[in-house]
């Protein structure tokens, strides 16, 4: 059964559609894999074994009656433990919510269930999706961080414990752990996917993130998750393209390689690797040209953190006042810094964000995608940090979509990744570019877990 868990989401979906396997087979395979690895990886907070098997049996019966909901029908998935799940604990990585059980589903959870997905359980997150590391280990090397804040989601997907998972990104919490763990990560455009029912860290920066093992898998998930939601005022009521069919348009892209800023902060191995990736893509037919981030990028990293501090203080104000002693030192520091940001300063930060979004979007429209390293270096050793999110900041601060792809291994056997950034609501083109790059890079290595 365990071999079934190593299928891609798309392959598993095809086997369900053609009757080769059942949803129950897939859930059992994933649970067996989790039982083998979880004591080492610690990717899960809550496993809903009985609920997942019951859902799988229900969806199996549906298929036997001739009811097929689509590619997610019967597919086992994980959820970062900041998404509300009716009847299932949602802890936010905090002792304050250790026993909290919501009475409704987040919009994205609702959409997944309507598509027939099976929720295996809740994946580990850093405290409130912020700075304090979770207990999760990197499946490529247990002495290294898997990244954060979506630690468990990335590790679970990379370790074949589930076929896909949801995370979030406020700064670098999807693309960074995807790079560290060697899987595909997508942060859609701000407003493309509802965050209703996702515990807020910073309203103007929070995005739902998607993890899977291939670009096609990510496209299937985004197809279900994208769309307007009247319960989320940030959602933009735009039509949802056919992301999966759009992958058929994959062809050699025009890529804008961004060296300035990224080359200054990346280690030598990452710089050389990204140059080699760019050269490889160019040999395969891509048009690669160097571009510069707009002048309004000056001060963006500092502005990003300041806005995150201020909005975190706002979203946690009441809870922090009641439970300050139960917050970690890292989270206390974050909230306290936010309390010092004045209203006048916050308005200036928002204006900076708008300017940069406008300018970066204009740059992205001159190419099919920007190309950068996904992280400054491979996953660091130890667990005092979840790594450096700096390279993911431009896309998160601007709200533009970004896609992380595994692109090789470091000399120490840790994953290296690239990041592609596209114009606002251009996920269809971004995924097609990603699909083409994925085929050229042909990354097939898996974690040495046995």
For the cut 80, the answer to whether the pLDDT of residue 2 exceeds it is no
Q: Tens of pLDDT along 10-49?
A: 999 999 999 999 999 999 999 999 999 999 999 999 999 9
Strand intervals (E) in 28-111: 44-47, 76-80
The predicted structure's pLDDT at residue 1: 43
Query: Under DSSP, is residue 146 helix (H, G, I), strand (E, B) or coil?
Result: coil
The whole-number pLDDT of residue 250 equals 79
Angle, nearest 10°, between helix axes 9-17 and 215-225?
Answer: 70
Instruction: Tell me the β-bridge partners of 416.
Output: 408
What integer pLDDT is reported at residue 446 of this predicted model?
A: 96
DSSP 4-18: GGGS-HHHHHHHHHT
* Model confidence band, residue 438 (pLDDT cutoffs 50, 70, 90): very high
CB atoms within 10 A of CB 385: 13
Positions marked catalytic: 80, 149, 173
pLDDT score recorded for residue 450: 66
- Chain segment 88-98, per-residue pLDDT in tens: 999 999 999 99
Beta bridge partners, 421, equal: 370, 402
- 277-307 per-residue burial string, b: 16 or more CB within 10 A, e: under 16: bbebbbeeebebeebebbebbeebbebbbbb
Structure tokens at 227: 């769309």
Rounded to an integer, what distance in angstroms lies between the CA atom of residue 241 and that of residue 223? Answer: 8
Cβ-contact 384, 312 below 8 angstroms:
no
For 354-371, what is each residue's pLDDT tens digit?
A: 999 999 999 999 999 999
- What domains are defined for the chain? 1-296+353-450 (3.90.1300.10)
CA distance 224 to 240: 10
In 218-269, at which residue ranges do the beta strands (DSSP E only) sit?
Answer: 254-258
What is the mean predicted confidence (pLDDT) over 59-67?
Answer: 97
Strand partners, 288: 255
Mean pLDDT (whole number) for 210-220: 98
At 99-133, the pLDDT tens digits run: 999 999 999 999 999 999 999 999 999 999 999 99
C-alpha distance from residue 178 to each of 280, 344, 417 (Å): 22, 36, 8
- What residues contact 84, with CB distance under 8 A and at least 6 apart? 90, 102, 104, 105, 106, 109, 197, 198, 199
Of residues 278 and 2, more confidence is placed in 278
Average pLDDT estimate for 406-428: 98
- Give the up-direction half-sphere exposure of residue 271: CA atoms within 13 A in the CB hemisphere: 10
Distance CA 32, CA 158 (A): 16
| pLDDT tens sequence across 152-174 | 999 999 999 999 999 999 999 99
- pLDDT at position 236 over 50: yes
- Inform me whether the pLDDT recorded for 277 exceeds 80: yes
For residue range 244-274, what is the model confidence (pLDDT) as tens digits? 999 998 799 999 999 999 999 999 999 999 9
Tokens 């690895």 belong to 37
Q: Distance between the two ends of the chain, CA-based, in angstroms?
A: 14
Dihedral (C-alpha) 377, 132, 225, 205: value to the nearest 10 degrees?
-80
Mean residue pLDDT of the chain comes to: 97
Strands 415-421 and 287-291 come out as: unpaired
């Amino acid at each position: 059964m365990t071999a079934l868990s190593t299928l891609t989401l798309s392959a598993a979906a095809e086997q369900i559609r053609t009757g080769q396997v059942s949803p129950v087979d897939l859930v059992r395979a994933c649970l067996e894999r989790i039982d083998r690895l979880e004591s080492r990886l610690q990717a899960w907070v809550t496993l809903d074994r009985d609920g997942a098997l019951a859902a799988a049996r229900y969806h199996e019966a549906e298929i036997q009656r001739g009811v097929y909901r689509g590619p997610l029908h019967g597919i086992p998935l994980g959820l970062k433990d900041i998404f509300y799940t009716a009847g299932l604990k949602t802890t936010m990585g905090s002792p304050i919510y250790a026993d909290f059980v919501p009475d409704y589903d987040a919009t994205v959870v609702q959409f997944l269930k309507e598509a027939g997905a099976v929720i295996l359980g809740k994946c580990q997150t850093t405290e409130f999706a912020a700075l304090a590391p979770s207990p999760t280990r990197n499946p490529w090397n247990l002495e290294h961080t898997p990244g954060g804040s979506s630690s468990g989601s990335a590790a679970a997907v990379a370790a074949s414990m589930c076929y896909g998972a949801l995370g979030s990104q406020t700064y670098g919490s999807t693309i960074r752990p995807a790079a560290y763990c060697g899987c595909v990560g997508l942060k859609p455009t701000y407003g493309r996917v509802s965050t209703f029912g996702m515990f807020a860290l910073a309203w103007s920066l929070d995005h739902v993130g998607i993890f899977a093992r291939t670009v096609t898998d990510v496209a299937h998930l985004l197809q279900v998750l994208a769309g307007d939601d009247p319960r989320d005022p940030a959602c933009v009521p735009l039509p949802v393209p056919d992301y999966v069919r759009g992958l058929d348009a994959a062809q050699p892209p025009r890529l804008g390689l961004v060296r300035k800023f990224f080359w200054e902060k990346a280690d030598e191995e990452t710089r050389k690797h990204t140059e080699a990736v760019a050269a490889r893509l160019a040999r395969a037919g891509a048009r690669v040209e160097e571009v510069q981030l707009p002048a309004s990028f000056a001060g963006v990293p500092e502005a990003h953190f300041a806005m995150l501090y201020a909005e975190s203080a706002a979203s946690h104000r009441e809870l922090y006042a009641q439970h300050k002693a139960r917050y970690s030192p890292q989270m206390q520091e974050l909230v306290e810094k936010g309390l010092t940001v004045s209203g006048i300063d916050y308005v200036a930060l928002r204006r900076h964000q708008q300017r940069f979004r406008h300018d970066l979007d204009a740059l992205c429209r001159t190419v099919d995608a920007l190309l950068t390293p996904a992280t400054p270096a491979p996953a660091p050793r130890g667990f005092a940090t979840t790594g450096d999110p700096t390279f993911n900041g431009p896309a998160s601060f601007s709200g533009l979509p970004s896609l992380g792809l595994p692109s090789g291994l470091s000399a120490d056997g840790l994953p290296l990744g690239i990041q592609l950034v596209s114009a606002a609501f251009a996920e269809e083109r971004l995924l097609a570019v990603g699909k083409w790059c994925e085929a050229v890079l042909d990354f097939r290595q898996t974690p040495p877990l046995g």
